[in-house]
Amino acid sequence: MLLQETVEKYRLTARSYDKIIRLARTVADLEGEERIGENHLAEALQYRLYEESLFC
C-alpha cells in the first residue's frame, strides 16, 4: 500500500519501482529479516526520494 501510493504520488517509473524493491530487500537483509516489511519499504523510499531530489 505504501509503495503503490508513493509510486502514484511521485509518478515513479517502473525502473524506480524496481530499484526501491531491491533497496528494501537489501535493508531487510542487513537487518537479518527474510521478508521485506513496511519499515524496510519506508526506509528504501526515503533513500530513493532523497536521491531523486538531488538530481532533479
> Consecutive sets of 10 residues in the chain, 56 residues long: mean pLDDT of each?
87 92 97 97 91 68
The predicted pLDDT at position 55 comes to 67
pTM of the predicted model as reported, rounded to 2 decimal places: 0.82
Q: Which domain holds residue 22?
A: 2-55
Number of domain units in the chain: 1
- Does residue 7 contact residue 35 with C-beta atoms inside 8 Å? no
The predicted pLDDT at position 7 comes to 87
